[in-house]
Copies of this chain bind each other. A is one copy, B any other.
Amino acid sequence: MNINRILAAENRLRGHSRVTPLLNAPLLDAEIGRRIFLKAECLQKTGSFKYRGARSALSALDAETRSRGVLAYSSGNHAQGVALAAKELGINAVIIMTNAAPTLKIENTRSYGAEVILYDRASEDRDAIGATLSEDRGLVLLKPYDNPEVIAGHGTVGLEIAMQAGAHSVSDAQVLVCCGGGGLTSGIALALADRAPGFRVHTVEPEGFDDVARSLAKGEIQHNARNTGSICDAILTPAPGEQTFPILKAHCGDGITVTDAEAMRALAIAFAHFKVVLEPGGAAALAAALFRSQGTSDIIAVGSGGNVDADVFAHALAQHAS
């Protein structure tokens, strides 16, 4: 993986992915005593950064592979990103989702044009279903993060940050990234190592699901004990990827963790000051900027997604709006 692969992805994404704004809020800055910028990837197509990696990977496939179609496992943002990118490119997409997924997410994924296959977590094996489908129909599996073209697609967020930070005269900054399997963070870290080498990239995870922070501290891949139990569902993954972890290790500082309450408070602050909708997992980096970072240097927090249910959002506002 290197910058050239990200630049190639940028070319394939041009005119398809959105250049999302880098927002700031003077009143918040005055309150906090430093400048905080929010890279609003919640405004990306499908409401999260995942579209970039999906479009990058699908557009890199050869014609023969495209004609067979792709397969993904996801109940969330990856599913919607793959579904829309596949539809735009005329590729059949099959998404395997648990039948416990929210109806709205199943319907949205279908509406984007994907074939959704539901399975029962208690009685069926997702991987076996996927393997059978791959064999029968020749579908290629699109992993959510451990794929170089996915990482390269997410790296375009880093290219945009470098360019937009320059326009704000940001020359020294911490860049905080909501982190699940590490696809977004590794792509951003690679891009910034080339374009803004003075920027310091840190992963942000929910407390109790800090596999990446522990992996970075130990120097080898660590796993989470569980995969449910935080409101930040979009960034709960078992462990950093085989392909993402070496990049994180080479380019990132210490991992940061935030509580669910901090993520919900950051969501309410994004509502009040940035006028954007973040999901709890997508607000983790902003929470770290607000509540877990020392110093006065500029901070760029990536707001990675905004696919949140209305009742969760309203609950955050009721608890934390001032």
CB-contact partner of A30 in B104, B111, B276, under 8 A: B111
Binding site for B on A (CB under 8 A): 15, 18, 20-21, 23, 26-27, 30, 40, 42-43, 45, 47, 84, 104, 108, 111-112, 167, 268, 271-272, 274-277, 306, 309-311, 313-314, 317-318, 321-322
- CB-based contact B306/A275 at 8 Å: yes
Contacts of A42 in B (CB 8 A): 275
B321, A317: Cβ atoms under 8 Å? no
Knowing that A26-B84, A27-B108, A314-B314 touch, tell me 18 more A-B residue pairs with CB under 8 angstroms.
A21-B21, A26-B45, A26-B112, A27-B112, A30-B111, A40-B43, A43-B274, A43-B275, A43-B276, A47-B275, A268-B310, A271-B277, A272-B310, A275-B306, A277-B277, A310-B318, A310-B321, A311-B321
Contacts of A275 in B (CB 8 A): 42-43, 47, 276-277, 306
A245 to chain B, nearest CB (A): 30
Highest count of chain B CB atoms <10 Å: which of A18, A26, A318: A26
- Chain B residues contacting A84 (CB-CB under 8 Å) are 26
Stoichiometry, as copies per complex, reads 2
Bound: A286/B111 CA distance, A: 22
Q: A189 CA to B277 CA in the complex, in Å?
A: 30
Q: How far is the CB of A170 from chain B (nearest CB, A)?
A: 14
Question: Can you spell out 10 A-B residue pairs with CB atoms less than 8 angstroms apart?
Answer: A15-B167, A21-B43, A26-B112, A27-B111, A43-B275, A275-B306, A276-B277, A311-B317, A313-B317, A314-B317
Question: In the assembled complex, how far is the CB of residue A74 from the closest CB belonging to chain B, in whole angstroms?
Answer: 17
Judging by beta carbons under 8 Å apart, are B313 and A271 in contact? yes
How many whole Å from A274's CB to the nearest CB in chain B?
8
Q: Which residues of B contact A47 (CB under 8 A)?
A: 275
Query: A43 contacts which chain B residues (CB < 8 A)?
Result: 21, 23, 40, 274-276
Contacts of A26 in B (CB 8 A): 45, 84, 112
* Residues from chain B with Cβ under 8 Å of A318 in the complex: 310, 314
Contact in complex: A21, B18 (CB < 8 Å): yes
- The CA-CA distance from A268 to B306 in the complex, in Å, is 14
Give 5 closest A-B pairs by Cβ, nearest first.
A310-B321, A275-B306, A314-B314, A310-B317, A275-B277
Inter-chain CA distance A94–B41, complex, in Å, is: 37
Residues of B contacting A276 in the complex (Cβ-Cβ under 8 angstroms): 43, 275-277
Measured in the bound complex, the distance between the Cα atoms of B128 and A122 in whole Å is: 74
**A273: nearest chain-B partner, CB-CB:** B47
The residue on B at minimum CB distance from A46 is B26
CA distance A276 to B40 in the complex (A): 10
How far is it, in angstroms, between the C-alpha of A20 and the C-alpha of B318 when the chains are bound?
28
Per the bound structure, the CA–CA distance linking A275 and B18 in Å amounts to 14
Closest chain B CB from A167 CB (angstroms)? 8
**Which residue, A111, A272, A318, has most C-beta atoms of chain B within 10 A?**
A272
Residues of B within 8 A of A274 (CB): 43
A76 to chain B, nearest CB (A): 15
What is the CA–CA distance of A142 and B322 in the complex, to the nearest angstrom? 31
Most buried by B among A27, A30, A310, A313: A310
